[in-house]
Structure 1
Amino acid sequence: MSVMLIFLAAIAAIIIWWLAGQRLASKPWLETGSVQLPAHDGVDRPPLPAVKIGLFVFLGVVGALFSLAVSAYFMRAASADWWGMPVPRLLWVTTVALALSSAALQWAKHEAGHGRMENLRPALVAAFALAVFFLAGQIQAWRELTAAGYVLADNPANSFFYMLTGLHGLHILGGLAVLAHTSLRAFSTEVAADRLRLSVDLSAIYSHFMLAVWLLLFALFAGWANDFVDLCRTLLN
């Protein structure tokens, strides 16, 4: 339960920080002239696109889903029939691949902002290929574990491992579908530059979030999260 509270507190802090950045307390509807939100340096900036707000809401729901699953993981791990399972070495490689994919999308976002299509296209292709490699590595890790006897119904630890990694993999697969569409648009000569920049930006945000979720899950499976939770419980008490 403490894990869920800490995660939700972090989400609330991010939302408060974002709202403060939008300066909602300034009541722009009472002002005359442009309705665009002013930046802190005095330069007007366009309002946040509705699709980006929708993405933030979706990521909030996904974050709540994973936080509940992780909370259930910790509560179930306290049972006597819980036996831990080893973390395949391949997961270290896939973690690096996912981190590089997220970095490639950040690079693509930077290139799209400057209109450099010759650099944007290889960045998108690299991000897509690395994400595909991550999924392929996850499947291979599953095969290695099942071959070693760590099957789904053997004990609750196995069930949670396959459930959480599978759920994360499905979200990565959904992000890949959007990234593939964005990459195809980048190779088109008729795509609008502003729409392409927005698509790349959304893909980068989604990729960074899923990387953060995976790092949390990886720390959970490796056992590092237990020490962190004990520390948090000590601080809360």
Structure 2
Amino acid sequence: MALLAELGKKSWLTPDSQGAQALSSLEALEGARKTALLFLLAVITVLFFLFSITYVSRSQYPDFQGLAAEPWMPLAQSWRLWLNTAFLVLASSGLELAKRVNLPAQYGKLFLLWGGVILCSLAFIVGQLALWQLLKQQGFLIASNPANSYFYLLTGIHGLHLLAGVLVLGRGLYLLSRQASTETIGQSLQLCAWYWHYLLLLWLYLFALLSAPAEAYDTIAAWCGL
């Protein structure tokens, strides 16, 4: 085995050229991960775009009643959604702050920021589940109104994407606890930040769509020829 290892060495490469080759491989891996993330975001965008079209189209039927259509409807007073939004804004901002931490001198600070992002993201998910529970208690069940079904569907899919991101953040936190290389941590932070910023923008869009008055749906449907 030692003989095979010796034969496998690229003795014609100098230490500098070996380092350059390793750097090139790292950059290629980072590029592949960015491409995969952008592809994923494109797929998610198409998915929610199609859901939005069907939602606006369904709003034109007489049995559709938006959750903010009347002052007494649950989303007409949307402070709970604003509170959940604040948690997601904090998580997204935390990742931006984490990107500016000086490594390896400030591993502890980065660890706290990273953990805070996870906690804020989980708080958002818990807040959404609490809102679901409140709607059920008030009688806004999935099958009782098409607008209810879309609310549960859209917020649920968004929450699942966020939960998947939390799992990735958890793996990053583990790598950070093992003091992985600054290059590996930097790549993870950059990709997670992109993902969280995207999910924040997507949530703001869903927030506006789901809490819009009936007149807004009529206007959008007219623009789209629905």
Q: TM class, shorter-chain normalised? A: 0.7 to 0.9
Tell me the SS of whatever aligns to 2:193: helix
Aligned to 1:5: none
Tell me the SS of whatever aligns to 1:81: coil
Distance 1:115 1:109, change over 3 A: farther
Aligned to 2:209: 220
Output one character per residue of 1:16-69: Cα deviation in whole Å (capped at 9) or x when no partner: xxxxxxxxxxxxxxxxxx9xxxxxxxxxxx666211111001100011101111
2:141, 2:148 within 8 Å by CA — same for their partners in 1?
A: yes
Q: Aligned AA for 1:161?
A: F
Pairing 1:191-202 to 2, within 5 Å after superposition: 191-202=180-191
Which of residues 51, 64, 76 in structure 2 aligns to 1:82? 64
In the alignment, the residues of structure 2 paired with residue 104 and residue 216 of structure 1 have an alpha-carbon distance, to the nearest angstrom, of 21
Q: Aligned AA for 2:34?
A: K
In the alignment, the residues of structure 2 paired with residue 49 and residue 83 of structure 1 have an alpha-carbon distance, to the nearest angstrom, of 46
Output one character per residue of 1:74-117: Cα deviation in whole Å (capped at 9) or x when no partner: 11111111012222532211111001101001111222678632
Q: Which has the larger radius of gyration?
A: 2
Residue correspondences, number: 191
In the alignment, the residues of structure 2 paired with residue 84 and residue 184 of structure 1 have an alpha-carbon distance, to the nearest angstrom, of 43
Distance 1:126 1:225, change over 3 A: farther
Q: Percent identity over the alignment?
A: 32
Aligned to 1:22: none
Distance 1:213 1:112, change over 3 A: farther
2:104, 2:182 within 8 Å by CA — same for their partners in 1?
A: no
Unaligned stretches of 5+ residues in structure 2: 1-19, 21-26, 68-73
1:219, 1:225 within 8 Å by CA — same for their partners in 2?
A: no
Aligned to 1:54: 36
2:115, 2:173 within 8 Å by CA — same for their partners in 1?
A: yes
Q: With a CA cutoff of 8 Å and minimum separation of 6, indicate the structure with the bigger relative contact order.
A: 2
Aligned to 2:164: 174
Answer yes or no: is 1:158 the counterpart of 2:140: no
2:88, 2:200 within 8 Å by CA — same for their partners in 1?
A: yes
Aligned to 1:3: none
2:87, 2:121 within 8 Å by CA — same for their partners in 1?
A: yes
In the alignment, the residues of structure 2 paired with residue 213 and residue 224 of structure 1 have an alpha-carbon distance, to the nearest angstrom, of 19
